[in-house]
Every structure is written in C-alpha cells, then in structure tokens.
Structure 1
C-alpha cells in the first residue's frame, strides 16, 4: 500500500509539474471534479431511496476524498464530528451547548492553523476544516433555535431550525457530503435532510443535469482564465524588482489586475463545486414566475453582480455569499441585543479574520474592508439625499463615465485590500503597502477628516436635499 501511495504521489506530482500547478492544488481540483460522477451514481441508484443508505454513501465517498488529500489527518474532522454529536446528545438545544461548540470548534481550527501553518497559503487538512467548523457550529445553533418558540425566530432561523437532535450518521453525512466537503458551499442540516428524504425537490428525478454542467463549465472557464493570468502576473510579481520599477499609477493598476486574476482561483472552485450541488438536486430553491426550477440554493458567487461591481458593497454581496450569509445569521444578527451596528460589524469581521487563520495579513485585509464599507455607506447615504444629483449621475453620457470611474475604483482598491490576504506575513504586506504609499489607508481611513469638504461640494451641486428617511426637505 505504501508503494502504491508513493507511485500515486509520483504520477500526480509529474502531472502537476506538467500543468505548472502544485500537487496539493491538483488533488483539490480532482476532489472537486470527482463529485460529478459521485452525484450521478447517487442520482440513478439511491435518489429518494433509503436515507440510511444515502448517508452511508456520502460518508464513504466524502471520507475517501479526505483520505486522498490528507491521509490519516482525516482523524481531525472525525474528532470534531464526534464531539459535535456528543454535545448535542448530552446538552443539545441549550445556550451552553452553543457556547461550548463555538469555543471547541474554533479552538480546534486555530490549533490546526498553528500546527500546519507556514509563510504561505497551504492546502492542508486545516483548509477543508474551516468549512467543517462553520457547519458544525451552525448545527448546534440550529438545534438550539429548534427549542425556541417558532414565532420568535427570524425568517432565516425558521428555515434552518431543527426540532430534533440529528443522529451521528446524519451529522457525518452532512459534514462529508462530497460535493462540498473540500471548499463548500455551506448549507444547513435541514436542507440536507430534506434532500435525502426527497421532500426538497420531490422523488421524481429533478431536471438539474444541464444547469449543473453549465455551472461547472463556467467554473472550468474561470480556472483557465486564472491559469493564463497567473502566467503573466503571478503572486511573486507584486514583490519583484520589475514591479518596483513601475510608476506609482502603474503599480496601482497592476495590483488591481493581479487581484482580479487571483480571485478567479476561488471563483472557479466555488462554481465547479456548485455545479456538483446542482446536479445532485441539493441546490433547488423553488420555481420562478414562469414555473422554471431555480438552482441557486447553494450558490457561493453571483457572477453577473461580481463582474459588473462598481462598489465594494457589490463585491461583498457577490463573493463568497454562503460564508457571508453564515456570518450574518450566526454572528452579526446574534449580536442585535448590543443595539450597536458598528460593534456587530466589527465582531463579524474579526470573526472572519480569525476563521481564516492566524496570519496578520487576514486582519489587515478585514480592517480595510471595515473602513471601506463605512466610507461607502456614508457617502452613498449622503448622495442619495439629493435626488437631482442622483438623476444627473444616472442620465446620459455621465452614467457611462460614472461606471468607468467606479469600476476603476473597485478594481484598483480591491487589489489594495486583497494584498495582505495573499501575502500573509507582516514584512511582505507592509512592503506591498509601502510601494503604494499607503494610498488606500489615506483615502479611506482619513475620510472623516475630508468628508465635510466633499459633502459641501455635493450640497452645492445637488440642489434641494431630502433629509434621510423622514421625507423632510431643506
């Protein structure tokens, strides 16, 4: 067996070298793509059959994918699944179970990051473990919500709440579901169980093969664009002598293009994984006005919104949407009792940074997200109080000019914000920001100091002002 494994690694390494990709990245891609035949076999042999057999099928295939990538390190996910089940069995449905689950799962993840971390982004067992961590924490929350009065639950909570404690087999199958174990997307235990029971779509085979293949094909297209892009602008370019020889404005533009290419790596993986979820039937989300089936229940990226984004708000709403929705439901909205939006927002961003890892670059990145979003919220709210100015900006040739300016703004400063996320280490991202003279920090973080001047200009151009949401004018 050891010899077979060694040969397997040798062949894969040779193929990875031929493609110009790291071997762990190739294993990851194979693991996502193999989801397609796995769900096809399920579709034609087990769909709407015995739930227990379906659970076992998903456990066996999911664990096999984990073994293919990380070998004996699959034990880490198994330990966390076992602890989650025991916790629900003993004190499930209580606030104490939620707190213990949150602390244990996050601590296990962070220790994993510490044990496996290096100076670069690594594809090791801790990578899919971050997906598992959110899934198991959410499970405990959902059982807790299921013990509450349904009338006191939000719409999101009503869709995910569980009035019973899932079995160990159900938890394991939900965790190792082969279409999402490696890179997501997140989906609730409630959705998974409805899918297995046949109540999500119905027991007639759903018309999801073509939509799934199209979504997966789009993912492969983005993967190809990424591979071509990094051959011209690899991560190493941002700290190269060639980069530092560019003028300041050229550095900003190159950073923006580099970030655009880098994000395609994540988008391609999410689209391919989503295609698997669609083909399984798990992504069903009802029908549109014309009676056509909708398959966006597991979507993790909104391509149209992403490519047309002209604000960071658009980018956040279109990128990694499942994780953002998870944080909104299980972190941000749970802090409403504090009655302070900024504390809730800060807590959510700190959680995201911690969840991503221990590298300082994550914290620098999410700090920039905080200041950028507050900048945009403030200026958009103020501009919207001047209907004449809004109409002017959205009419005639000016709307096209506005689009170009805002598109450049998003591309350039998205690269600026993403830099630390990719470079990770303080000495690397500090040098990166130094090369750009900390332009983003000056532009966004200093907004409160130059905001009065900008608002005075807006007021001069805007004419009559509508005050906030009270309908009063001045």
Structure 2
C-alpha cells in the first residue's frame, strides 16, 4: 500500500511512516462509527472487529507483520501466565515478561538509531505493556479478599477469566492500539456490553442506550488534533529542542535563547497533542469515554482523554501540569507500580517513588535523556510540593473572601515558573543523548537547576521550619509538608485518599 502514501508524504514533506500513522488514526473515525453499530448482543463480533482492524493497520498499512507477531506473542504469553500461575507473584512475572520484551525492542531501536519519524513496534508495544500488566493485577485482585482492596482495585478486579477471543479484542482495541489510550479490561467490557451507558438509558435517540452528542465531540477532537498537527508540520522545522545545540543558538543573548526555547517546547509537544487528541476522538466514536451528563443535561466524554492542553501550557503549578500529561500512563504507574511496590500497611515512601520513576524511564526506552528527565522531575515535584505547603497558606484569602491580588500574583508566578521548568526538564527527553542534553542545559545557563536547587536548599536548610513556625504564629492553615527523607522523588500522581484527608483537615 506504499503507493498510496508515498506521493502524499512527498507533497507535505513528511516521512511515509508519519503519513501512515496519521492515516490509521483518521481511518479509525469511520470504523468507530461502524463498531458502535454492532449490537451488544453480538459481543464476539465486536471482539473480531477490533482484531481485524488492528491486523489491517499493522500488516498491509504499516508493514509491521513481524511486529504484530511479537505483540501477539506478548498477548498470548500474558493470557497463559495469568490463567495458570496462581502465585501472588503472578503479576510480577507478567511484568517481567512484558517489560523484558519491550526493553529488548528498545535496545534494537537504539542500536539501529531509528528516529521518531520511523514507526515500529515499540510504540504500540508500550501501550500494550500497560494493558497486559494492568490485566494481570486485575486478575490477581479478583483472587484476593475484597476487604484487602481499595476502591480502584474493587472496580477493576476480574473474577471471571475471559475467553481468548475476549482477551484478544481487549488487547487489540483498534482506536488505541497504536498510540493509546490504554484502558483496563473492565472498562473495555463495559463498552462491549454497553453497561457503560447504563445511566443514559432512555436518553439516546431512536431508543438507543448510547447518549447523543458523541459525534459532535469526537469530530471536534479530530479538528483540534489536525490543528495541532498543522502547527507541528509548519513550525516544527524551526522550533525544536535540538536547536539548542546548534551554532546559531549561541549567537543569541541569554534572554532570547530562553524565550525561544519556551516556544520550542510548545511546538515539540504539539505532535503529542495531535496524535493523542485524534485517537481520543476515534475512541469516543466507539463509545469509550462516556462520563455522564453535565449541568445542562449534555453528555460528557472525558474518560478517553490522555492530555489536557490548557492545564499543561498554562498550569497553576507543576503538579497540575504533570497530572494533565499522559494521563493514562500516570494512572498505570500509580495503580500498578507505586501502590504495588509499597508493603501492605505502610505508606508509600522514597523506595516506592524511586521504583515508579525508574519504571517510567525504562518503559520509555534506554536513552540516557529519559532518565535525566525523570530523575530531575522528581526533585521538581518535591520543590513544588514544599512551596505549596510552606508558602501558599500565606496568600490564601480567608474562606468566603474574594480573590486577593497577592494570591493572583502567586498563581501567575507559579504558572510562569512551571512553564519555564517544564521546557528545561523536557529537553533531555527529546534530545535523548547525555552529551546533547548537558550542552543544551549549559547554553541555558543551568537555569532549571538554579530554580529548583535554590528552593530545595532553602526549605531543607531551615526554611520549612521557619515558615511552619510563622504559619502557627499567624494562625495560617498549613498544608501537608513533604520532607526530603520521605519524598525525595514523589509519585507521578498524588494519592487520592491523601488529598481527600488533607481537604477534610482544611475544612475543619
């Protein structure tokens, strides 16, 4: 099928693989409308539909026949292990099997120095790794006493082992097989049997259980994705992180370099916004992502989102920024790594955080740039949480009082600093090599290290203690302080229970 894509790639100046990938994401839209028309009384037909479309994407379109065989091997291996290994270590056996296979392919990709423009098996395999390891933990949770599980584990646990066809349909759910979104088995089955739309019964047109408004939102997502794609195609050649290591960059003044680098960050992220928004729209067309009804009775479809653009580009703080990027991966890391490596009865600490960030880096690949980004990201998150705990109480207006100018200045400052530090820490993630990453940071005068390092030094060398005493003296409501001993590298997402407890304390 290359003859269909080569002329288009030449016309727009993109690689053939990129054109193929975007074509698959767009083809998923009409196929999604066909999928949802298959009645819930024919679940096997839906599973077969997912499998056949995925085969079509991988073999005739992307020419990844061997890649598909490898993915199928991971799927069948996980299905066999989860069914036959009754040991409590079963999920970790699956994790080792799946992540080991993924790491081997990451090594092969690095050996051949394949660029981002080359579509090969590691991208889909990263999505599949999340699905398979989550499935293993869901099966494990179905074998233990309900009272030993938290809310998420109770909702997602699997008590009835799926048939092979059901599992294949889940593994190869076609809108998300290439770039996501990742979904758990319980969510997939609620889509198949349409129990996902139980709250919408009688509200759909023509007597259907599926609520109205789905197409409008889905195609709006498609339009947004194409806009982001256009931004990247037009501006990407001029604004990219790699420009920081070119001779041209050092001819500019520091302030110019810093401002230019911020724009580079947005343009680099626009390609992720494009593919994730496109696949979100296709998923919505299949029915995935329904989250109920809004205040005016309109249906809402936020469950398939993997990114929140405004919360990333204009964040209130770094934590909000992290929680809005690659949302489903954060959920996977929290539920399948962060919580699972924590001994029962104990709160997650430094060890849990280190293992979580290490897993995230390994999942992305073996390039040193990934580890530089995630290691430094842990310290950034710590600095942000210390600022919120020690400084924010002084600017919060009293309950019921209007917003003060001091609070607005605090919020604006947090937004500007979050954007600046994001683009600094994300550079190695895109540059990949240690040498280029260090050179880019050097040409930016290490401003990210100065920002984070000075704040950590202040808090750890007595600032936290001083501000805590001052809060007590002035009667301020102190937020939870995160000490360096327990959270040098905090989790990608804060534990929901901790957030609720903190909210209750503040309300009291």
Fold match by TM threshold 0.5: yes
Residue aligning to 1:449: 457
Residue aligning to 1:88: 82
Q: 1:341 to 1:424 in 2, by over 3 A?
A: same
Whole-angstrom distance in 1 between the partners of 2:255 and 2:466: 26
Residue aligning to 2:57: 65
Whole-angstrom distance in 2 between the partners of 1:99 and 1:217: 41
Q: Deviations over 1:326-353 (max 9, x none)?
A: 1111111223325342322222111100
Residue aligning to 1:157: 153
> Counterparts in 2 of 1:81-160, with a 5 A limit?
81-91=75-85, 94-117=87-110, 118=113, 120-121=115-116, 122-160=118-156
Q: 1:430 aligns with which of 438, 449, 466?
A: 438
TM-score (norm 1): 0.90
> Does the CA-based 8 Å contact 2:338-2:356 persist in structure 1?
yes
Equivalenced residue count is 461
Whole-angstrom distance in 1 between the partners of 2:183 and 2:371: 26
Residue aligning to 1:204: 209
Q: Deviations over 1:426-469 (max 9, x none)?
A: 12112111212322123213433233586699689977143646
Q: Which moved more, 1:156-165 or 1:237-246?
A: 237-246
Structure 2 residue matching 1:12: 3-state secondary structure? helix
> Does the CA-based 8 Å contact 1:383-1:390 persist in structure 2?
no
> Does the CA-based 8 Å contact 1:260-1:411 persist in structure 2?
no
Whole-angstrom distance in 2 between the partners of 1:246 and 1:406: 27
Q: 1:38 to 1:454 in 2, by over 3 A?
A: same
Whole-angstrom distance in 2 between the partners of 1:446 and 1:145: 44
Per-residue deviation at 1:290? Answer: 4.6
Whole-angstrom distance in 1 between the partners of 2:211 and 2:349: 42
Q: Deviations over 1:37-75 (max 9, x none)?
A: 11112223x132411111111100012112222233211
Per-residue deviation at 1:394? Answer: 8.4
Residue aligning to 1:17: 10
Residue aligning to 1:319: 325
**2:377 matched to 1:369?**
yes
Unaligned runs of 5+ in 2: 199-207, 481-504
Whole-angstrom distance in 2 between the partners of 1:189 and 1:303: 27
> Does the CA-based 8 Å contact 1:85-1:167 persist in structure 2?
no
**2:248 matched to 1:242?**
yes
Q: Deviations over 1:198-252 (max 9, x none)?
A: 2221553432111211122222222222223314313442222221111122222
> Counterparts in 2 of 1:293-308, with a 5 A limit?
293-308=299-314
Q: 1:160 to 1:460 in 2, by over 3 A?
A: closer
Q: 1:459 to 1:114 in 2, by over 3 A?
A: closer
Q: 1:38 aligns with which of 11, 27, 31?
A: 31
Q: 1:50 to 1:150 in 2, by over 3 A?
A: same
Structure 1 residue matching 2:339: 3-state secondary structure? helix
Q: 1:138 to 1:213 in 2, by over 3 A?
A: same
Unaligned runs of 5+ in 1: 1-7
Q: Which moved more, 1:16-25 or 1:179-188?
A: 16-25
Whole-angstrom distance in 2 between the partners of 1:295 and 1:399: 33
Whole-angstrom distance in 2 between the partners of 1:278 and 1:425: 37
> Does the CA-based 8 Å contact 2:266-2:313 persist in structure 1?
no
Q: 1:51 aligns with which of 27, 43, 66?
A: 43
**2:221 matched to 1:218?**
no
Whole-angstrom distance in 2 between the partners of 1:468 and 1:143: 41
Q: 1:177 aligns with which of 155, 173, 179?
A: 173
Residue aligning to 1:466: 476
Whole-angstrom distance in 2 between the partners of 1:58 and 1:242: 49
Structure 1 residue matching 2:342: 3-state secondary structure? helix
Q: 1:307 to 1:441 in 2, by over 3 A?
A: closer
Q: Which moved more, 1:460-469 or 1:329-338?
A: 460-469
Per-residue deviation at 1:399? Answer: 4.8
TM-score (norm 2): 0.84
Q: Say which structure is richer in helix.
A: 1
Q: 1:79 aligns with which of 73, 80, 88?
A: 73
> Does the CA-based 8 Å contact 2:102-2:126 persist in structure 1?
yes
Q: 1:155 to 1:459 in 2, by over 3 A?
A: closer
> Does the CA-based 8 Å contact 1:185-1:300 persist in structure 2?
yes
Please give the root-mean-square deviation of Cα atoms over the aligned residues, in Å: 2.6
> Does the CA-based 8 Å contact 1:120-1:423 persist in structure 2?
no
> Does the CA-based 8 Å contact 2:388-2:479 persist in structure 1?
no
